[in-house]
Amino acid sequence: MKKLIRIEQIKILNYTPFRILLLLYVVFFTLGIVIYPLIDKEIPIISLSDLFRFPDVWTFLTWITEPYNILLALIVIMMTTNEFSNHTFKTQVIFGLSRKELITQKLILIFLLASFATILIGVTSISLGLIYSYKLTFKIAMENIELMAIYFLSSATYMIFGLFFALIIKNTALSILTFIGLRSFVEPILFLLLRKTEIRWYMPMRATTQLTPLPNLIEIFKDKMNNPEAIEDTAIDILPKGLPLWLNILVVMGYVTVTVYFSYRIMGRKRLT
């Protein structure tokens, strides 16, 4: 295990595109959060900084930063397809890695990146929470902390899907296209077409997105609004009700298990050239 971590470390730390993409991730992440306090003054009645209070900050930040996980998935795709185009999967097998270890290596990379993302959002949430909260008790701050684990799961799941596409497609551009196409075009269209059925919540990308759903903003702003009841009634229809959280987590874990299983299986049979 340690061996695989050290190998992965040498590969990524000296690879400029990796460093640039990771830096971009951090920049987008920060900009995406900083922009809310900046536009706050433009919107009457409600104050967006309310969103940064404990415990709502957890819900809000996990929702707005969720799309950045796509960037992490792209990093995993790039690092995996590179191994094919450089023929280095082959070299590593010749020198004594098992085919299973090739996948384990990439799962370690995914684990590290997901941990990085989770720590980043954890630190940001705690900092913003401390700055914006009026009432601050440990209990309030820690409410919703389980969202960190859920965020880790959603981040890792995206990357595991990315790894899977990279393994079957082998080509960087095509893998990225498939990934983004499925997440941003195919599934959203199917989601609309299937709006009468429950199936739409079970689609892999959708289920993953839904792990950190749009927070109930009405609930958060209720105190500040003149006539909250009127809004709340209509809002119930607008806000889509997904699967219950426990079921959603189970569905995603199911996808993760199947994808990881097939990743190992595909690699076991692949011709490494």
Partner 1 sequence: MKNILEINHLSKSYKSIKAIKKLTFSIQEGQAYGLLGPNGSGKTTTLSIISGILKQDSGSFLWFGEEANASQRLRIGSLIETPHFYPYLNLERNLKILCEIKKQSYKDIDRVLKETKLYDRRKSKFRTLSLGMKQRLGIAAALLGDPEILVLDEPTNGLDPEGIAEVRETVLKQVRRGKTLIIASHILSEVEKICSHLAILKQGDLLATGSIKEILSEEEMIEFSSSDNEMLKQKLESSNLIKEIEQTNGLLTAHLEKDVDSGDINNFAFENKITINHLISRKKSLESQFLELVKD
Q: Which residues bind partner 1 (CB under 8 A)?
A: 3, 6-7, 10-11, 14-16, 86-88, 90-99, 101, 269, 271-273
CA-based nearest residue to 66, from 214, 180, 175: 214
Q: What angle do CA 190, 195, 200 make, to 5 degrees?
A: 55
Task: Name every residue whose Cβ is closer than 8 Å to that of residue 214 and which is 6 or more positions away in sequence.
Answer: 63, 239
Q: Write down the least CB distance from residue 85 to partner 1, Å.
A: 10
Is the CB of residue 161 less than 8 Å from the CB of residue 73?
Answer: yes
Looking at beta carbons only, is 44 or 96 nearer to partner 1?
96
Q: Write down the least CB distance from residue 180 to partner 1, Å.
A: 25
Q: Write down the least CB distance from residue 106 to partner 1, Å.
A: 15
179-to-15, 30, 110 alpha-carbon distances in Å: 23, 24, 16
Is the CB of residue 65 less than 8 Å from the CB of residue 4?
Answer: no
Cα separation, 38 vs 170, whole angstroms: 42
Q: Write down the least CB distance from residue 168 to partner 1, Å.
A: 17
In order, the DSSP letters of 71-90 are HHHHHHHHHHHHHHHTTHHH
Q: Write down the least CB distance from residue 269 to partner 1, Å.
A: 7
CA-based nearest residue to 52, from 66, 63, 68: 63
Q: Write down the least CB distance from residue 107 to partner 1, Å.
A: 17
Residue 68 host element (H or E) = none
Residue type, 270: K
